[in-house]
Amino acid sequence: MSAPQIRPQPQPKVVAHRGASHEHAEHTLAAYVAALEAGADGLECDVRLTADGHLVCVHDRTLRRTAANKNLVSTMDLAELNELDFHSWKNPWAELDDERPDTDEIGVLTLRKLLEAAADYDRRVEVAIETKHPTRFGGLVEKRLVEMLQDFGWDKEGSPVRVMSFSFTALQRVERTAPGVRLVQLIDKPQYWQLLRRVIGDDWLIGPGNELLAEHPKLARRMAASGHTMHCWTVNTLADLQMCQELGVEAIITDRPAYMLDALGR
216 is catalytic: no
Q: Do 216 and 194 contact (CB within 8 A), yes or no?
A: no
* Active-site annotation holder among 27, 59, 87, 231: 59
Q: What is the DSSP letter of 62?
A: B
Q: What are 20-26's contacts with CB under 8 Å, separation 24+? A: 20/255, 20/256, 20/257, 20/258, 21/255, 22/236, 22/255, 22/256, 22/259, 24/90, 25/66, 25/86, 25/87, 25/88, 25/89, 25/90, 25/91, 26/59, 26/66, 26/90
- What region does 249 belong to: left with phi over 0, alpha with psi -120 to 50, or beta? beta
For residue 30, give the H/E element and its range. helix 29-38
231 is catalytic: no
* Active-site annotation holder among 17, 22, 228, 231: 17
SS3 42: strand
Distance CA 246, CA 89 (A): 37
Nearest to 41 by CA among 8, 60, 13: 13
User: Which residues have a catalytic role annotated?
Assistant: 17, 59
